[in-house]
Amino acid sequence: MQLTVTDDHTRSGWLDQFDPRLRLLTALLFALTTVSLQQTPLLLLVLAASLLSALFTGLTGSLLLKRLLAMEGFMILLLIMLPFSVPGDSLFTLGSFSASTQGLERVLQIVLKANAIVIMLMTLIGTLEPVVLGHALGQLRLPEKLIHLFLFTVRYIGVLFDEYQRLRMAMRARAFVAGSNRHTWRSFGWLIGMLLVRSLERSQRILAAMKCRGFNGRLYLITTEHWQRRDSVILSILSLFFLLLLLSDHLL
């Protein structure tokens, strides 16, 4: 589940010396600040800051490009339609539709904000081990049920994928070839149904095993991480920097 970086798979050791809660709070403040900014130069500044952070962490360019392309593919329809739906000065026309300069500026802002936030999240949170991230969320007093759901999802999503792979292998062993016909869609429907049934059965076995080990509905998060003075200093400095960005955006 951890992001793949460089040759040794991690060069984020300089981040590991800080409390994970600091990384979560920094990512949250960065996202809130970036979303609030409206000036393009400041958005370019935060994008450059996120790219530098990813570079120092050791995230490879190919990994960043792959993740960003997945996000851009999701946003492509919005980015295409927005210039034609925002009123303003006409930039060019396409048939009976007119694209506005204000709409194009809005598209640029959305692209800069989304990329800056995603890159920073990959840098600060994506390089955390899932268990460490769950413990940090618990120390921040987030709802226990939400944390349990996150930890169980991380733990068993690979198990469900393995189950899906076994079912697909069984289908291929029976000479199943996917196509655009009724038999294919019915077969995939049975596949999804069997995956749900087996997931339910496995969840019941897991719950029974946990009850045998004294599970009472609560997971106790044991961690050796301690908030230090340097974490408070860094958080204060970053908060001041984000505040200056917001003030600059308001004054420009």
Q: What DSSP letter does each residue of 62-87 carry, written as one string?
A: HHHHHHHHHHHHHHHHHHHHHHHHS-
* pLDDT of the residue at 44: 94
Domain assignment present for 180? yes
Query: Measured between alpha carbons, how far is 128 from 122 in angstroms, rounded to an integer?
Result: 9
pLDDT digits (tens, 9 = 90+) for 31-67: 999 999 999 899 999 999 999 988 888 777 777 787 7
The DSSP bridge partners found for residue 94 are 97
The DSSP bridge partners found for residue 9 are none
pLDDT digits (tens, 9 = 90+) for 129-141: 888 888 888 888 8
Range of the domain at 149: 138-212
Do 157 and 94 belong together in one domain? no
Which residues of the chain are modeled with pLDDT < 50?
1-10
Do 39 and 97 belong together in one domain? yes
Domain assignment present for 73? yes
Per the confidence metrics, is the pTM higher than 0.85? Answer: no
Mean pLDDT of the chain: 84
Do 19 and 84 belong together in one domain? yes
Task: Give kind and range of the element (H or E) at residue 130.
Answer: helix 130-139
Q: For Cα atoms 8, 11, 12, give the angle at the middle one, nearest 5 degrees.
A: 140
Query: Measured between alpha carbons, how far is 136 from 68 in angstroms, rounded to an integer?
Result: 26
Query: Measured between alpha carbons, how far is 114 from 31 in angstroms, rounded to an integer?
Result: 9
Do 112 and 152 belong together in one domain? no
- Cα-Cα-Cα-Cα dihedral sign, residues 204, 208, 213, 218: positive
